[in-house]
Amino acid sequence: MVTAYDYPSAVHVDRAGIDIVLVGDSCAMVELGFETTQPITLDQMIHHCQAVKRGAPDRPLLVGDMPFGSYEFENVDIGLQNAYRMVKEGGMDAVKFEGGTESRAKIVRHVVEGGVAVLGHVGLTPQAISVIGGFRAQGRTATRARSILDEALRLQDAGAFAIVLECIPANVAAAITDALEIPTIGIGAGGDTSGQVLVFHDLLGMLSHPHHEEFVPKFCKKYASVGIQINDGLAQFKKEVEGGVFPGKDYSPYLMSEEEEAKFDDVISEHAEKTRSKLDASDSKLGTADESDQLSLYGNNK
């Protein structure tokens, strides 16, 4: 599974044969520039889902993240209604919910019973960073690891078709995967999960830059440094434009026949001559007006 947030990224992910495309709320950070995933709205998520659907319309399974504030209510119908929007308006095949508490499992069950497939998500749940104290690894104590296992089992019982395990020890992820009957998808959770997911921008080095490297997660392997090529290309474009190299004859392909070019030159010459005549006439009138103004200054009408 790989994230995608727009038409071009969806096209690339689809062409690579990736099985699942996640329109993640990480869009808030890597596309919209926010510091967390919390600010992105449901309408914004649907906008990005629609673009991804156009880029990968047929083959991969499309999953849309339910954004923070779109489903956490006691009234589970709110979550279902918004999940319907992700499917009907956004074009998603399934939606993803974060968390595995009893109240969250209740929502998942209601949404699944309503006909929408749900991907669960436990471990580090970025939407809850205000509660868990930031982007921190989870499940590093036996008690917390058991709690995450219980959450995963709860989501499975609620009808989730798979569960994302984020930023937990590899042995914990392996134990959860063994305990479940449904697949797990790991991100920073070792290699014993059923599948893996990474963020498009991170794995391709889209923002590769000396000042950006510190923001790449520890668990992310960069398979390319696309950002460096982007920077180099933009810098070269600027240099060639300023130096008069681009576009040049090679990139000025649209030509007139010699006959039409001669006609056009005549048109331009005629237009220039008319313009000069009008300017000369205007200058003459202005000169006369100035003389008249000078003669009538200060009440002198002589």
Inter-residue contact 51 to 6 (CB < 8 Å): yes
CA distance 149 to 175: 8
- Which residue type, as a one-letter code, is found at position 223? Y
- Distance of alpha carbon 257 from the chain centroid: 46
Inter-residue contact 173 to 184 (CB < 8 Å): yes
Q: Of 72, 89, 166, 258, which residue is the catalytic one?
A: 166
Active-site residue flag, 31: no
| Closest CA relative to residue 122, chosen from 89, 91, 156 | 156
- Which residue type, as a one-letter code, is found at position 275? T
Buried b (16+ CB within 10 A) or exposed e, 244-271: eeeeeeeeeeeeeeeeeeeeeeeeeeee
Positions marked active-site: 166
